[in-house]
Amino acid sequence: MDRKNRTVMVVGLGRFGASIARTLSEDGVQVLGIDRRMDLVESLQQELTQAVQADSMDRETLHMLGAGDFDTAFVTIGGDLKASCATTMLLKELGCRQVIAKASDEFHGRMLEKLGADKVLFPERDMGKRIAHNLVSGNLLEYIELSPDFSMVEIQAGPEWNGKALRALNLRERLGINVVAVRSGGKTDALPTAETVIHEGDLMLVVASEGTLDRLNRRK
């Protein structure tokens, strides 16, 4: 299916969800973003096909938004297990073809699977495990495929990024990657800001399209 004809819903527009939504949108996918918080919705209205303030636990609301017609839905609600589980269940009941949900821990993940999630993501846990086991080979370490079009990957900061803040590096505009977390000096920053300083050798968890991954591989 042509990317421009693919439709994706992202429920939960915190840092992780926003990164997924932006990356897909930049890659030409039609993206609907949903969140209860109006400030998060407003921050993405100019970047997505549509961004709306809504309660994803309301079945009628999801039905009116056409949830059953979407190719993929990401449930990236952080810190609210009830909302995450209820949204996942409703999306499957309404006929969404693929539901990919983010889990905060193993118990949460098992609940999401039992409620019908087609894939469960553990971004924080998986990043820590891969780092702990030192699965490092070259500059591009390992990736988790989120969909056929984009993935969440770990990259290692090179010397040209040393001592620079994310704002100055401007990675989203220059390279098309959205930074989700940074591992530096044995500590993981799961909420990096524009002022977060990157050092050579830091491990960065980013969301990127497959085309961007190909370009990163060629830079190795």
Residues 59-100: pLDDT tens digits?
999 999 999 999 999 999 977 899 999 999 999 999 999 999
How high is the pLDDT of residue 179?
Answer: 87
Among the ranges given (23-32, 49-58, 140-149, 193-202), the one the predictor scored with the smallest mean pLDDT: 140-149
How high is the pLDDT of residue 138?
Answer: 39
Question: What does each C-alpha distance from 71 to 64, 114, 152, 182, 185 come to in angstroms?
Answer: 16, 21, 19, 31, 40
Look at residues 45, 35, 95 and name the one whose alpha carbon lies nearest to residue 71.
Answer: 95
Using the predicted structure, report yes or no on whether residue 142 has a pLDDT greater than 60. no
| pTM for the full predicted model | 0.65
How high is the pLDDT of residue 163?
Answer: 94
29 compared with 79, residue with greater pLDDT: 29
Using the predicted structure, report yes or no on whether residue 57 has a pLDDT greater than 60. yes
How high is the pLDDT of residue 205?
Answer: 84
Residues 99-139: pLDDT tens digits?
999 998 889 999 999 999 999 988 766 655 554 443 344 34
- DSSP bridge partners of 7: 30
Phi, psi of 207, deg, nearest 5: -105, 130
SS (H, E, C) 122-188: CHHHHHHHHHHCCCCCCCEEEEEECCCCEEEEEEECCHHHCCEEHHHHCHHHHHCEEEEEEEECCEE
How high is the pLDDT of residue 125?
Answer: 67
Instruction: Look at the block and give the residue holding tokens 């999801």.
Output: 62
Look at residues 34, 32, 38, 42 and name the one whose alpha carbon lies nearest to residue 70.
Answer: 32
pLDDT band (50, 70, 90) for residue 209: confident
Q: What is the mean pLDDT of the chain?
A: 84
Hey, what domains does the chain have and what are their CATH numbers?
3-121 (3.40.50.720), 125-219 (3.30.70.1450)
How high is the pLDDT of residue 51?
Answer: 97
pLDDT band (50, 70, 90) for residue 32: very high
Tokens of 34: 């949903």
Average pLDDT over every residue of 15-43: 91
How high is the pLDDT of residue 145?
Answer: 57
Using the predicted structure, report yes or no on whether residue 7 has a pLDDT greater than 60. yes
Among the ranges given (2-6, 23-27, 193-197), the one the predictor scored with the smallest mean pLDDT: 2-6
How many other CB atoms are found less than 10 A from the CB of residue 176?
A: 21
